[in-house]
Structure 1
Amino acid sequence: MRIPHHLVRARSGLWSFRQRVPVELQPVVGRLTFKRTLRTCDMKEARLRALMLAASYAQAFAVLRERRVEKLSKKEADELIARLTESTNLRDLTLHRTQAPDGTINERWQIDSPEDVQLYRQMMELTAAMDRRALPRPSLLYGPMAAAAPAPSPAPKPAIETITLGKARDAWLASIKGSTLPKTWTIKKTAVEMLTSFLGERTKIHAITRSDLARWYQHMRDGGASTPTLTNKQSYIGGKGGFFDWALASGYYPKGDNPANGHVSYSTREKRARRKFGFKAYDSHQVQVLFAPAAFESLPLPARWASLIGLYTGARASEVGQLLIGDVFEDGGVPCIQISDEGEHQRVKTDVSLRTVPVHPDLVALGLLKWIEGLRAEGHTRLFPGAKAEAKNGQGNWVSKAFSRYLAEVGKNWPNARRGFHSLRKTLIQELQGAGVVSELRAQIVGHELDDEHHATYSRDFTVKEKLEGLGAHSPGLLSLNYGLNLEALRPLVDPALLPEGSLPKNSRRARSNA
């Protein structure tokens, strides 16, 4: 689990570290965040100290999660979190950093005062207590006096299979190749090869620590990597289904904390910037221009239907491109489109992306069901037969490109902004929000995961009728969408049978013959 943290700079120039407590542990810890003063004005030093603090807090949270099974009291939780964070008091123990010719950074704590000795003894007591209770130790760097302290008896550890980082890299890439898009596989390969190059191919994977990963992330940041780049690398190496997640499941890494996770997160300012430069929704005027019959006929027939499906369902380009004939069906008399990963070559972004979306009456009026029946009668199994099932950039790449070329022409005089097929999804979400559709219903229609863990645990799935009609007079559903399109003029462009063969638009005639 990624545990968000970030740095804050005071007017004095000193940096502070803020660590958010995971939602499920907030009732146990009794607070939402921790704040620690780093007592430095140097950005690089602050980042290093923040990374080490984040690693220690992650260890502390892992301990609390394990003890929570046995109903750890709030008093015990407070004591344990205080002692764990006390053991990384950067104010009292001085950090020494040296860099070898090969680029390796060595770090140690100096212990040379009575206060340092007292703090060190507290660390030793905590370590011994955790050994007695069979809990994981926090990641600590011991100074010169470590040899003078009696070493506690190690708790028995489960046997793990040793494997080098290089071999683990190759095995992981081989395990995900069959279920990953070629482009995504290449990106993941680049990330794990960067880690292997930094730590060395012969490094034993079970010996890699959170500090090793912290050095890697800092190395990339020092090399100019941005937060989005670091976040992506973290998701591939430390996220769900990532390299270390696979290593833990395969028995190559000790069970417990994922050492590659929890190091990088977006600051409040970076989150604002991402929202500012993300895809923009189309306003009502732009929707009218995009779907004006005179312009819309320049799109090939499959791209027209893909665009309309995106506008009325909020489906991603990849979800639209991989649709099968069998994904369109009736449920209780309501025609529906199912976003699924059950068919061959079908994939979804996340588990919540698996959903059933009612077909809006505008799509029915335009002849969507009739068009699909025509494809079925011709023996097709895919909604868009021309899409390549094993396309390198995904089955929605064709519609994204076709729509982008079309957009570049019809929207060439619009204000500069990031727009594309994905903007149709954002348009639908904002239209539903403006119509008063509740967030839980919107999330299930478009396949979004709500941030509040309460919803995932206790909410139920809405029926297709509820998604279409809403939950009552004051809680509408998908029927509240009203783009005001000229359906009568658009239908001949998506149902070529309504026009005489001689007047059939060129693109439509070619699309029908290739269907």
Structure 2
Amino acid sequence: MSFRLPAYLHRNRYGMLYFRLTVPPDLRPIVGQAEIYRSLGSSSVRQAADQAQSLRITLQRLFEDLRRGGGHAMSGHAYTALRALLDQRKITAHQTEKREELEQQISAMKSEQFRLSAEHQRTAVAVEAAQAAVVAQMVKMDDASAPAAGRSVSQETAGVPFSQLFDAFCRYKEGSGEWRDPESDRLYRYGPIVKEFIACLGDVTNVSLDAAAVRQFKQAVIGRDDFSQAKKTKYFEHIGAILRWARIEQYVRDDLAGILRMPAKKATGGYEPFSEDDLRRLFESDDYRDGTFAKASQFWIPLIGLYTGARITEIAQLHLSDIREQDGVWLIDINDDDLKKHLKSESATRTVPIHPVLIGIGLLRYHAEVKAEGYDRLFPDLTRTNKAKDSFGADPSEFFTGYRRRLGVTSISETFDAGKNRWMGRGTKVFHSLRDTANSKLRHAGVTQERRERLVGHASRDVNNRHYRPADINQMFPLATLLEDIRKLDYGLTHASYAGTSRHRQERVKGAQRQARIDAEAMP
């Protein structure tokens, strides 16, 4: 999918990103200009977006202060502060732009050096193979047996180190467009795993990389008690992807990736939908009735999951702009139009009408409250780290697990070990069960399979529909029809209205500060 830049970012014809913010008409006589336009000194959307976001929030707060001041002319102190802010950003951007230009030149030189080195190595291997074939043919013709020590053809070459193979792999993925966010994929998805691989085997060359080395790495990972099975599988999948690419590019000759393939998962029986009693315990609890949740996200995310069937990450990463009105219907726009958003598949891209229950208990009021505070995301109290495949859904998932267990909503496979003071077994009544519960309710209410797939973001089982693009599928059904379908999610529950607290506001401030620190640490 194509990536849409935020409205406050602009890319010039040379690829550099600029911050652009329109000054409100009523403040232009005070500020003295209609638009603020400054270079961010970078062509990286990830880096520029973080800088621009910080600058946008600072300026919007300044605009609000000016309005509260009665619209009087900007004081000399305020004007000096504004100019100092913009000038400092300009100086920093210029320095960053020069540094990035130098880094690009160095990177280009390294890339060319690696290309020539790799080409030389491939040529040397080909020549060596040809020489070996000639020697073998001569030996056969002479019917003689030449001792191995007497061969003049070397069986070893310098080879290409694995770290350089990884660099070439990353350039291929970026150049082919397979990676949507190459910087994040390189640094956070693959980088830590490649470091572990090199720490285990050394920076082994393609010539020395053989089945024995790959098996050694596999056994080392399998033996890690601190790794979950999912993490071990992820390590094998990522290193396997590099090895498959290396074989296609003829850096290695054998199917080394096959050594890392894991057995297919056994069927686990899936998730259980929540019963009516489960739902009453979860959504008519003292926590909801008394409004004791520490964060607003803890109040809203389970409710949105219940009345939309959306996945937890889809909800947790929503932006304020994803809540909008179209043709008289309020919608939740589930998309990945931001580098920090991730969806499970293309079919997950969709718009879902907002259930009247959510509007009735204050979702739009909450939306307006957060927007007035100057945030971009619907739940700024949540943070996303830069770990591989991490998302905004990690914290709410952990919270919901503890919440339901505290209320006695558990599955048969879950037991509490008092001796170890921990829960044992895999739960089948989890947040994802809200999705199954909603889908089951829609099915029993007579909603067609096509519309259910459209609402919950499942890939279509219909052969004809598989050839539609997500944008086309989103237009297959009128919003009024989909709203009527959503209304059929009636669980007979009594919900308390949302009441924001000072603690919720404090948690939003803390969350935004944590995210800013995480993003700053991720910058090169």
TM-score w.r.t. the length of structure 1 is 0.51
1:467–1:478 contact (8 Å) kept in structure 2: no
RMSD: 4.6
Match of 2:52 in 1: none
Cα pair distance change 1:181/1:219, threshold 3 Å: closer
Aligned match of 1:285 in 274, 277, 280?
277
Residues 445, 467 of structure 1: 8 Å contact kept: no
Name the SS for the 1:477 alignment partner. helix
Residue 5 of structure 1 is matched in structure 2 by none
Q: Is the 8 A contact 2:218 2:236 kept in 1?
A: no
| Structure 1 gap ranges (5+) | 1-143, 150-161, 497-507
Instruction: Deviation per CA, 1:119-148: give whole Å up to 9, x if none.
Output: xxxxxxxxxxxxxxxxxxxxxxxxx99x98
Q: What are the within-5 Å matches in structure 2 for residues 70-81 of structure 1? A: none
Displacement, 1:376?
1.8
| Residues 169 and 413 of structure 1: CA distance in aligned 2, closer, same or farther (over 3 Å) | closer
- Following TM superposition, by how much is the alpha carbon of 1:510 offset from its aligned partner in structure 2, in angstroms? 1.8
Q: 2:361 aligns to what?
A: 366
Counterpart for residue 505 of structure 1 = none
Aligned equivalents of 1:334, 1:374: Cα separation in 2 = 20
Indicate how the Cα distance of structure 1 residues 202 and 408 shifts in structure 2: closer, same or farther if over 3 A, else same: same
1:73-472 superposed matches below 5 A: 163-169=160-166, 178-180=183-185, 185=189, 188-189=190-191, 191-192=193-194, 201-204=203-206, 232-238=234-240, 242-243=241-242, 252-253=249-250, 260=257, 264=261, 270-272=265-267, 275-276=268-269, 278-296=270-288, 297-300=291-294, 301-390=296-385, 392=387, 393-411=390-408, 415=412, 416=414, 417-450=427-460, 455-457=465-467, 460-463=472-475, 466=478, 469-470=481-482
SS at match of 2:351: strand
Give the CA deviation at 1:411. 2.1
Count of aligned pairs between the two proteins: 325
Contact 2:281 2:409 in 1 (8 A): no
Shift of 1:311: 1.7
3-state SS of paired residue (2:266):
helix
Relative to 1, partners in 2 of residues 1:292 and 1:164: Cα closer, same or farther, differing over 3 Å? Answer: same
- The AA in structure 1 aligned to 2:466 is A
Residue identity in the other structure for 1:243: I
CA contact (8 A) 1:192 1:243 kept: no
**How is 1:483-494 mapped onto 2 (pairs within 5 angstroms)?**
483-487=491-495, 490-491=496-497, 494=498
Once the two structures are superposed, what CA deviation does each residue of 1:59-84 show, in whole Å capped at 9, x if it has no partner?
Answer: xxxxxxxxxxxxxxxxxxxxxxxxxx
In the alignment, structure 2 segments of 5+ residues that lack a partner are 1-135, 142-158, 175-180, 415-426, 509-524
Distance 1:181 1:222, change over 3 A: closer
Quick one: distance in 1 between partners of 2:258 and 2:356? Answer: 45
- The more displaced of 453-462 and 193-202 is 193-202
Alignment match of 2:488 (pick from 473, 477, 480): 480
Tell me by how many angstroms 1:372 deviates: 0.8
